[in-house]
Each structure stands twice: as C-alpha cells, then as structure tokens.
C-alpha cells in the first residue's frame, strides 16, 4: 500500500532532493506549491499550517482528519495514512517530487 508519512519521513525526502526542484525552496520560483496526494482517493491537499494558512513547505500538521493516523496529546499530527505522498501542485495538477524536480531542471 505505501509507507506511513511522518515529519521525519518528510525531512528524509527533502534531504534526498536537496539542490533540485523536488524541494519547496527550489521549486517555489517556478510556481510549485507544496502539497500531498491521497493515492487512494486522488484527493490533493495543499500544505497548510494547523490553523489553515498555506505553508511554504511540506507540513503534515495541516492535513485533514480523513488522512491522519495519529496525533500527539497536544493535537499535533504524528502520522498520516499509507498512500499519502508529498509533492507539489502547479496549475491545478499534482506533481511528485521526482516530476517537479525534472520539470524545474527542464526549465533551466
């Protein structure tokens, strides 16, 4: 099905794509917005802070309850259900980190 997404997993992904358009810092100037795709339902969620404001990088804390597996005692999202993947939205379309990295590289 897929791995369980946590903040630690997001940090590992970011490190794996450092220096490419697969990170928020390197894709932002091309118009990409950090987002998540629920591969089971095809629902796309822009990355948000827990108060609903758009986040400039990937945060699982603002994801809806429908995809949250666990929260801490203070309510912080700790894990997201399998099948939710991080990526980006551009012009209403979801791109995986790999796809956004390629698209950003192709524009240079």
User: pLDDT tens digits for 59-77?
Assistant: 999 999 999 999 999 999 9
**How confident is the prediction for the chain on average, in pLDDT?**
94
Of the pLDDT bands very low, low, confident and very high (cuts 50, 70, 90), residue 108 is confident
Positive or negative, the CA dihedral 70, 72, 73, 75 is: negative
What is the full DSSP assignment across the chain?
--PPB-HHHHHHHHHHTTTSTTSHHHHGGGT-EEEEEETTTTEEEE-B-TTSPBPSS--STTS-GGGEEEE-TTS-EEEE-TTEEEEEEETTEEEEHHHHHHHHHHH-
pLDDT reading at 1 higher than 60: no
pLDDT reading at 3 higher than 90: no
52 Cβ contact partners less than 8 Å away, ≥ 6 residues apart? 62
pLDDT reading at 2 higher than 80: no
CA distance 103 to 108: 9
For the entire predicted model, the pTM comes to 0.94
User: If we measure between CA atoms, which residue out of 93, 70, 88, 92 comes closest to residue 29?
Assistant: 88
């Amino acid at each position: 099905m897929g791995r369980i997404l946590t903040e630690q997993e997001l940090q590992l992904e970011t490190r794996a794509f450092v220096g490419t358009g697969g990170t928020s810092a390197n894709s932002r100037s091309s118009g990409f917005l950090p987002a998540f795709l629920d591969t089971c339902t095809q629902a796309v969620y822009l990355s948000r802070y827990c108060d609903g404001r758009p986040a400039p990088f990937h945060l699982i804390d603002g994801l809806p309850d429908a995809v949250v597996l666990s929260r801490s005692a203070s309510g912080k999202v700790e894990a997201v259900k399998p099948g939710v993947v991080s990526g980006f939205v551009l012009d209403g379309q979801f791109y995986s980190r790999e796809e956004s990295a390629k698209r950003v590289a192709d524009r240079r």
